[in-house]
Structure 1
Amino acid sequence: MDVQRVTVLGSGSWGTAFAKVLADAGRDVTMWARRREIAAEIRDSRGNTGYLPGVRLPENLTATEDAAEALDGADAVVLAVPSQSLRENLTRWRELLPAGAILVSLAKGVELGTLKRMSEVIAEISGAPEHQIVVVSGPNLAREIAREQPGAAVLACSDHERAMAIQRATSNAYFRPYTNTDVVGCELAGACKNVIALSCGMAAGMGFGANTMATLITRGLAEMARLGAKLGADAQTFAGLAGVGDLVATCSSPLSRNRTFGERLGRGETVEQAQQAAGGQVAEGVMSCSSIRELAQTTGVDMPITDAMHRVCHESLDPRAAGAELLGRQNKHEWS
């Protein structure tokens, strides 16, 4: 199974960085950009300065604002739009998707309302079978990857052959992809870590240090693993790149949008103020905390940090009060 021509639908930070990974692995890449000026800059000036300043894009990467043109003849289609807008965007694109193309999901989240994982949304809208969908997860801060700093990722698909096809298409000197068949675990880990990163940012904004961060990361990991176990994920996934790896990177780096958004909330800003400071963008965890909380409630899984983040972001709970509540919970055995 050979993947040579790849289309990336979306031109944000991670979509652009992943397109560069593919191009640097020798693939012919076409990006679709919603705004004509971004497509022109990528195509003509070899850059996307609004998202990845200072990064030069390869010559075998081009861009267009025409989705039909971008998708024509693609062996694989990378969906690089935010999780809560995936359904709307894919509905517009589904008639243009090449038959049999591998669909690759970069989005990390659980859809509000339906509580579906991104691969489930893709399968529903596109009509593609689950074995045709590959999920990308792991510690992938876009700016670091785009600057060719060494990194790794997990490519999860129920069809190992398709996962290996994307593995070959993305392997290069600085990016090492691994395969996995646990789609459920990789997607849940990728969605949940954004919520835990919000809590770590809030703690940093309140002036707390490494002990607090380590506590939130490890107890956040326990929440993720409990939800994963309930929904049939492999426990090993949460100890790997999609779990611990992505959690550590997202919770600790100033390049993480979720962490920096949470830090502003911890300093006393409202969600609206933090959004304005982020150029109008809302971190994925702000939305996902609500859908993941609801998913946990419907499955009977205890996720206290996720619940606290929902109430801070959507019910005006003060971050310090949230911290006091978490510390004041009933004592228990670590693994109960």
Structure 2
Amino acid sequence: MSRKDVQKVVVLGAGAWGTALAIHLARSGHDVALWAHSDEHVQSLLQERRNLRYLPHVHFPESLRIVEDLAPSLEAADAILVVVPSHVFRRVLKKVSDLVGVSKKHIAWATKGFEPEGRKLLHEVAREEVCQDCHYTVLSGPTFAAEVAKGLPTAMVSASTNEQEAAYWANLFHHDAFRMYTQGDMAGVEVGGAYKNIMAIATGVSDGLHLGANARAAIISRGMAEMMRFAGLYGATPETLMGLAGLGDLVLTCTDNLSRNRQFGLKLASKQSSESAQQEIGQVVEGVKAVRVVKAIADEKGLDLPIAEQVYHLVEGNISAKEAAERLLARELKAES
């Protein structure tokens, strides 16, 4: 695909991230349709020409269309981008598959997380719900929706087992200050995008307890080791985890208060309950769902993931933030690697 070719793209999911990506694609010159699952949200987007809830200060480009009737837009689309929370990912893919034949369309997602019920990576879900032999792409990296919507410099990765598909999505997004790199390790990219949210909760707790910059650095570096250990179950390469979708995303999410997972950890440190903290944030905290999946798989496989384990017990209300920190500090001495 030439970068000058106008593509018809449907973005499924009008949260902060889906809206930001739709805005960027429209600014890049593509014909973009944005879909939201709530009729009330759709009407607000149509009337206001901006996402009042998530990105109130960014107005939509004229070329960005809001979808009321999804089927015609899907039928006409060259590409479908799914940007919904992980727990509804399967449901949305099934809706798409039921509405239109997608075997010849480009399909990608920018969702970060695991499927909670089946404890599966999202490309596994896509193969089950859409097409076993289709080529899919996952888009991930160190990004905040507000900065992408403002057009600030951003770098991501487009990962697919098919080089042409990875390149298609990279070309689609590569515009102005937005750079998209390609690679083939879908599993590594997906694990990185999901696991880093758990570590962001941990660093939020640490900073909320005023344990200092040293502790934050230790959590990030040991969290990286955990992420690589866990990703090894899926055959992920160390290079992937050291790249944008692993280390890059981990550092960003753990150190900036735009991260809702970090905000969640800060609230837990102030003795808020998990439920109360999530309600106050008002958006899906993917790390809560991710840590439950990781804990179940770690128990099944006999993996030692001490930070994730303490985050799990904290999220479930089994221990306090202070107790979680004390448990980690009380661990026996061991070699770093």
TM-based fold match above 0.5? yes
Match of 2:75?
72
Question: Does the residue aligned with 1:179 lie in a helix, a strand or coil?
Answer: strand
Aligned match for 2:300, one of 294, 298, 304: 298
Question: Does the residue aligned with 2:97 lie in a helix, a strand or coil?
Answer: helix
Cα displacement string for residues 1-27 of structure 1 (whole angstroms, at most 9, x for unaligned residues)? 577110011100000011112112211
- Is the CA contact (8 Å cut-off) linking 2:42 and 2:68 kept in structure 1? yes
Q: Does 1:267 align with 2:267?
A: no
Match of 1:125?
129
In 2, distance between residues paired with 1:209 and 1:34?
42
Match of 1:173?
176
Report the count of equivalent residues. 333
In 1, distance between residues paired with 2:239 and 2:22?
29
Deviation, 1:128, is: 4.6
- Is the CA contact (8 Å cut-off) linking 2:50 and 2:59 kept in structure 1? yes
Deviation, 1:41, is: 3.9
In 1, distance between residues paired with 2:148 and 2:235?
31
Runs of 4+ in 1 over 4 A off after TM superposition: none
Q: Residues 111, 95 of structure 1: CA spacing in aligned structure 2 closer, same or farther, 3 A cutoff? A: same
Normalised to the residue count of structure 2, the TM-score between the two structures is: 0.95
- Is the CA contact (8 Å cut-off) linking 1:13 and 1:142 kept in structure 2? yes
Cα displacement string for residues 181-232 of structure 1 (whole angstroms, at most 9, x for unaligned residues)? 0001000010100000011111121122211111111110000011122320
Q: Does 1:115 align with 2:111?
A: no
In 2, distance between residues paired with 1:209 and 1:180?
36
Question: Does the residue aligned with 2:223 lie in a helix, a strand or coil?
Answer: helix
Aligned match for 2:260, one of 257, 260, 265: 257
Unaligned stretches of 5+ residues in structure 2: none
After superposing the two structures, state which structure 1 stretch, 65-74 or 284-293, moved more: 65-74
Normalised to the residue count of structure 1, the TM-score between the two structures is: 0.95
- Is the CA contact (8 Å cut-off) linking 2:273 and 2:317 kept in structure 1? no
Match of 2:279?
276
- Is the CA contact (8 Å cut-off) linking 1:83 and 1:110 kept in structure 2? yes
In 2, distance between residues paired with 1:65 and 1:330?
58
Cα displacement string for residues 124-150 of structure 1 (whole angstroms, at most 9, x for unaligned residues)? 1112535x2100111011111111110
- Is the CA contact (8 Å cut-off) linking 1:110 and 1:191 kept in structure 2? yes
Match of 1:101?
105
- Is the CA contact (8 Å cut-off) linking 1:137 and 1:186 kept in structure 2? yes
